[in-house]
Amino acid sequence: MTDTKGKVVGVNGNMVSVEFDGNISMNEVAYVKVDNSSLKSEVIRIRGNVAQLQVYEMTKGIKTGDAVEFTGDLLSAELGPGLLGQVYDGLQNPLPLLAEKAGWFLERGVYVDPLDRTKKWAFTPTAKPGDVKKAGEYIGTVPEGPFTHKIFVPFYLLGSYTVKSIKPAGEYTLDDKVAVLTDENGKDVEIGLSFKWPVKRAINCYEERLAPTETMVTKVRLIDTFFPVAKGGTYCIPGPFGAGKTVLQHTTSKYADVDIVIIAACGERAGEVVETLTEFPELKDPKTGKSLMERTIIICNTSSMPVASREASVYTSVTLAEYYRQMGLNVLLLADSTSRWAQALREMSGRLEEIPGEEAFPAYMESYIAAFYERAGQVRLPDGSVGSVTIGGTVSPAGGNFEEPVTQATLKVVGAFHGLSRARSDARKYPAIDPIQSWSKYKGVIDSSKVNFCFDIMKKGVDVASMMKVVGEEGTSLEDYLVYLKEEMLDAVYFQQNSFDAVDANATVERQKYDLDKIIKILGSSFELADKDEARTYFNQLRQKFLDWNYTEEHSDAFKKVESEIDELYSSKNGKLTAQAESLLKA
């Protein structure tokens, strides 16, 4: 705590106006005293000697004259071993411990250390006396689950430091000092296993920011092949309620080619959070066979916190992601949903009486959203390793209207857009990503010429389907009807997946390439079909064979058997490749 004190002069919802005497700074943490409790708050505006605080607890009972204490510290997250497997609220309180201490109906003003202070970690020094280090370089390691957790020179230390002394290998708690560093002026600094970092300040202790070029494989065919995401890239999943955003995030968390997954449940505080908390510990990591929680961190709000806590959740989660990126790991941050964060910004902006922008959102909302997604990226670190943070945010536009401000602000800054369709969701198509509206700026796992060929078939098929709604099947030529049937088959057997089937949900890159070549052979062939009835029957048979194929293990006997049946069915109608398809398959 500092000597700066204040007193409450106004209360407007979870915004408290405080008259203070002394020096304070933006984003500084303060505590409002009420009913023998200290309520954690953050300075969000300073006007003369009056500051507006955003209180992260219910403000019932706060009245003018109540005391306020300023800490001098910015809103920060503690970084160190022990973060993995935790479930935190937006202020980095471990929710299971909070429930133990305060009961399931959480009392306000109760805070718990983010990391276990009693647990001992097996520290191994990697630096020796005389070594020169700077912020972001590490001096030792401890094992944390399946990873080697690096112990860094704290990111806030400026300049170069010489290692004066370092503890030998052994077991130490977070509060033990494992090294003493000396700065350029001869001042000693003690280093422990953990330190704090302001959540609203990006961690930039890297050598170079790299262009995201490597595909982050999700095992979702529609994403990896047609709308890919790069490691260190950004993407958004807007869609109406019930369109499958949460299921898609769970599948991505389980199968994505990343080291660590961070879930920021910054929006829904009821059903979807309960679903996340109950299902994630039960999910098995396909890489290790153990619980997925061993390499996952969940951050969510509680129903006893105001909507302002959504902002804290967003920033805390991205700070933890950047911390693990500094270790050379690939991190996937999934934020669900950023619309709720934007609504929290709108609510606070209204209380601050700022001039509103479109739909009453604050005029600076776009820059806030852009600043959040800009914290993603692939970087080269001081030791030469490369780490990445990939950010995927869901957006929940009312009525599925992608023209609303939050969706539009997000689309301006992300590298891929996976728009969920109500029509596809209602038709039980998973994932419900609309292949017409969606796009990606990143390179996928499949040759672009093959992707463009499939896109061309898809668009022509959609056009024919639209025409058939007007003229009917009778008014459609057999040639056009075949294009429609090919597009329907592509949609059913490649765009769609069964997330509950272990084989179909886990489409490897090799499997995607092999499957798509087989489908292109069908899409790029002519067949001897007498009429539409025969064509419909034939493509229904093909579609069923491909669906059966999707559920078989790659290279298994069942896989080869179904493939031979597909080949026989192809030959039965004298399938003949076009020149374009033949050149594609030879490439």
Instruction: Find the length of the chain.
Output: 587
pTM of the model: 0.94
Q: What is the pLDDT of residue 436?
A: 94
**109 and 69 Cβ atoms separated by less than 8 Å:** no
Calculate ∠ Cα 163-169-172, nearest 5°. Answer: 95
Instruction: Give 555: exposed, middle or buried? Use CB within 10 Å, 0-12, 13-18, 19+.
Output: exposed
Q: What is the pLDDT of residue 268?
A: 55
Alpha carbons 3 and 21: distance in angstroms, whole number: 9
List the CATH code of the domain at 5-74.
2.40.30.20
List the CATH code of the domain at 95-114+207-435.
3.40.50.300
Q: What is the pLDDT of residue 368?
A: 95
What integer is the mean pLDDT of 387-397?
Answer: 94
Secondary-structure breakdown of the chain: helix, strand, coil percentages, each rounded to the nearest 5: 35, 25, 40
Q: What is the dihedral of CA 197, 80, 135, 372, to 10 degrees?
A: -40
**112 and 98 Cβ atoms separated by less than 8 Å:** yes
Tell me the average pLDDT of the chain.
92
Q: Which amino acid is at 451?
A: V
Q: What is the pLDDT of residue 269?
A: 55
Range 121-193 classified under CATH 2.40.50.100: yes
Q: What is the pLDDT of residue 374?
A: 97
pLDDT band at 307; cut points 50, 70, 90: confident
| Pairing outcome for strands 260-265 and 296-300 | parallel
In CATH, the architecture of 448-586 is Orthogonal Bundle (1.10)
For residue 284, the SS3 value is strand
**123 and 151 Cβ atoms separated by less than 8 Å:** yes
Structure tokens at 330: 């690939």
Alpha carbons 105 and 108: distance in angstroms, whole number: 10
Give the ranges where 386-525 is alpha helix by DSSP (H): 405-411, 422-426, 448-471, 478-490, 509-523
Q: What is the pLDDT of residue 272?
A: 63
For 359-388, the pLDDT digits (tens) are: 999 999 999 999 999 999 999 999 999 999
In this predicted structure, the answer to whether residue 72 has a pLDDT above a threshold of 80 is yes
Q: What is the pLDDT of residue 377?
A: 97
Q: What is the pLDDT of residue 259?
A: 95
What integer is the mean pLDDT of 263-285?
Answer: 72
DSSP-derived secondary structure letter, 158: -
pLDDT band at 291; cut points 50, 70, 90: confident
Which part of the chain is CATH 1.10.1140.10?
448-586
130 is in an annotated binding site: no
**8 and 66 Cβ atoms separated by less than 8 Å:** yes
| Pairing outcome for strands 50-55 and 15-21 | antiparallel
Alpha carbons 106 and 112: distance in angstroms, whole number: 12
For 518-542, the pLDDT digits (tens) are: 999 999 999 999 999 999 999 999 9
In this predicted structure, the answer to whether residue 415 has a pLDDT above a threshold of 90 is yes
Question: 253 Cβ partners below 8 Å, 6+ apart?
Answer: 261, 263, 280, 283, 292, 296, 332, 334
Closest listed residue to residue 6, CA positions, set 16, 19, 17: 19
Instruction: Give 291: exposed, middle or buried? Use CB within 10 Å, 0-12, 13-18, 19+.
Output: middle
Q: What percent of the chain has pLDDT over 70?
A: 97
Q: How many other β-carbons are positioned within 10 Å of the β-carbon of residue 198?
A: 19
243 is in an annotated binding site: yes
CA atoms within 13 A on the CB side of 426: 4
pLDDT band at 567; cut points 50, 70, 90: very high
7 is in an annotated binding site: no
Which part of the chain is CATH 2.40.50.100?
121-193
Q: What is the pLDDT of residue 254?
A: 87
For 95-128, the pLDDT digits (tens) are: 888 888 766 677 888 899 999 999 999 999 999 9
pLDDT band at 271; cut points 50, 70, 90: low
Q: What is the pLDDT of residue 65?
A: 96
Q: What is the pLDDT of residue 104?
A: 67
For residue 464, the SS3 value is helix
Which part of the chain is CATH 3.40.50.300?
95-114+207-435
Which part of the chain is CATH 2.40.30.20?
5-74
Euclidean distance between the first and final Cα of the chain, in Å? 67
Q: What is the pLDDT of residue 266?
A: 81
Q: What is the pLDDT of residue 195?
A: 97
Q: What is the pLDDT of residue 227?
A: 97
Return the axis-axis angle of helices 509-523 and 448-471, rounded to nearest 10°. 50
Q: What is the pLDDT of residue 564?
A: 97
233 is in an annotated binding site: no
Which segment of 205-219, 235-249, 349-363, 556-570 scores lowest on mean pLDDT?
235-249
DSSP-derived secondary structure letter, 524: T
For 540-564, the pLDDT digits (tens) are: 999 999 999 999 999 999 999 999 9
| Pairing outcome for strands 138-144 and 147-152 | antiparallel
Q: What is the pLDDT of residue 235?
A: 97
Whole-Å CA distances, 420 to 41, 175, 231, 432: 37, 47, 22, 5
In this predicted structure, the answer to whether residue 478 has a pLDDT above a threshold of 90 is yes
For 486-521, the pLDDT digits (tens) are: 999 999 999 999 988 989 999 999 999 999 999 999
239 is in an annotated binding site: yes
Which segment of 12-21, 101-110, 387-396 scores lowest on mean pLDDT?
101-110
245 is in an annotated binding site: yes
Q: What is the pLDDT of residue 288?
A: 76
Closest listed residue to residue 155, CA positions, set 141, 173, 137: 137
